[in-house]
A and B are shown apart, each in its own frame.
Chain A
């Protein structure tokens, strides 16, 4: 008996469960994905955050003033990069800073870069006027010298922003 070898045409696999799971995962990742904001892509420095264990509070996503202290990847320079998270606040802050003649200010500027604590204080003060509910967060590189943080702390303290957050990464 010779069995005629049948050509396997149109082999069919039921893909429904596969598609179900794939869609489920896709929707999950789509909803959890957070895209880089404009100000993030503009920055030319990287922040290696310090690691801490205790606090598990997440960073708020609005009403926040972030003071970033990073080391520039090109010239190894450090400066304060101050930005407000709310779009409205950002526009208002730019307007105020134009009046105050902040060096190199532009309308709708994302982050204000300064090394001067007087400017830092003035920005902190204006930010508090613009959004009194805003919280302050210091997002600094773990390799920078503590004096940068000390100065930022003193600036916030002078402008009565006595509660603020240090941004950290979770220790593994």
Chain B
């Protein structure tokens, strides 16, 4: 640190004796030693810089239907089921079709295409095996969320301006498990 303003501060060195002596003297080049101040400031600055974490958690909103006794009836031809197997493999099928293995990019395309073709009537249902790591589940949901802009654009191109989103998470049943077991 280039400390020590004292050398220049001629005025500061004057002994403060009687008031009469000080009178009339011009205070030239008044200096204050800022070294301790700067030291402490730097110390605090480094402390705060190192302790602050810039990454704040984000949230992903989910809506689940309330637990009503009467299940909602849907047309099977409008139901797009996405299933996630234990090893992270993703399968999709429309209605009662046979499930087909896809990766995330293909899934994106499938969801966009089906939603645009069916013009808002498509229902995406996500089923995940209970042993699937939660991280994979979020990745799939994230991908489904990311389809929205493309779907809206596709719908607009077909003259539909409103988007009604139909997405749900459903439990994996034994029947689902059987269908994707050997694929």
Task: Write the residues of chain A forming the contact surface with B, with a CB cutoff of 8 angstroms.
Answer: 9-13, 15, 18-19, 22-23, 25-26, 29-30, 32-34, 49-59, 69, 137, 139-150, 153-154, 156-158, 160, 162-170
Of A32, A58, A148, which one neighbours B134 at CB under 8 angstroms? A148
Tell me the residues in window 79-124 of chain B with beta carbons closer than 8 Å to chain A beta carbons. Answer: none
B182 contacts chain A at the CB level, 8 A cutoff: no
The answer on a CB contact under 8 Å between B58 and A169 is yes
Of A15, A140, A156, A165, which one neighbours B38 at CB under 8 angstroms? A15
The answer on a CB contact under 8 Å between A33 and B60 is no
The answer on a CB contact under 8 Å between B51 and A33 is yes
Per-position contact with A for B1-13: 1 when CB-CB < 8 Å, else 0?
Answer: 0101111100000
Which B residues touch A57, using CB under 8 A? 58-59, 61
The answer on a CB contact under 8 Å between B57 and A166 is no
Tell me the residues in window 12-69 of chain B with beta carbons closer than 8 Å to chain A beta carbons. Answer: 34, 37-38, 41-42, 44-45, 48-49, 51-53, 55-67
Cross-chain pairs A/B with CB under 8 angstroms, 26 sampled: A10-B7, A10-B8, A26-B41, A33-B48, A50-B135, A50-B138, A50-B139, A51-B139, A53-B146, A55-B58, A56-B58, A57-B59, A58-B58, A141-B134, A142-B133, A142-B134, A142-B135, A143-B133, A145-B130, A157-B66, A162-B65, A165-B59, A166-B138, A168-B57, A169-B55, A169-B58
The answer on a CB contact under 8 Å between B56 and A59 is yes
B132 contacts chain A at the CB level, 8 A cutoff: yes
The answer on a CB contact under 8 Å between B61 and A163 is yes
Using CB atoms, name the residue of chain A closest to B169. Answer: A153
B142 contacts chain A at the CB level, 8 A cutoff: yes
CA distance A19 to B40 in the complex (A): 11
The answer on a CB contact under 8 Å between B62 and A164 is yes
Of A13, A29, A154, A162, which one neighbours B63 at CB under 8 angstroms? A162
Q: Is the interface of A mostly helix, strand, loop or mixed?
A: mixed
The answer on a CB contact under 8 Å between A160 and B66 is yes
Task: Write the residues of chain B forming the contact surface with A, with a CB cutoff of 8 angstroms.
Answer: 2, 4-8, 34, 37-38, 41-42, 44-45, 48-49, 51-53, 55-67, 128-135, 137-139, 141-142, 145-146, 169, 171
The answer on a CB contact under 8 Å between B134 and A50 is yes
Using CB atoms, name the residue of chain A closest to B45. Answer: A26
Q: Is the interface of B mostly helix, strand, loop or mixed?
A: mixed
Which B residues touch A144, using CB under 8 A? 133-134
Which A residues touch B135, using CB under 8 A? 50-51, 142-143
Chain B nearest Cβ from A90, distance in angstroms:
20
Using CB atoms, name the residue of chain B closest to A29. Answer: B48
The answer on a CB contact under 8 Å between B52 and A29 is yes
Using CB atoms, name the residue of chain B closest to A140. Answer: B134
The answer on a CB contact under 8 Å between B65 and A149 is no
Chain A nearest Cβ from B59, distance in angstroms:
4
Which B residues touch A164, using CB under 8 A? 61-62, 64
The answer on a CB contact under 8 Å between A149 and B145 is no
Using CB atoms, name the residue of chain B closest to A28. Answer: B48
CA distance A142 to B7 in the complex (A): 62
Q: Which 4 A-B pairs have the closest CB atoms?
A: A10-B7, A142-B135, A147-B130, A29-B48
Using CB atoms, name the residue of chain B closest to A55. Answer: B60
CA distance A29 to B129 in the complex (A): 44
- A10-B131 contact, Cβ under 8 Å, with A52-B138, A57-B61: no
Which B residues touch A25, using CB under 8 A? 45, 49
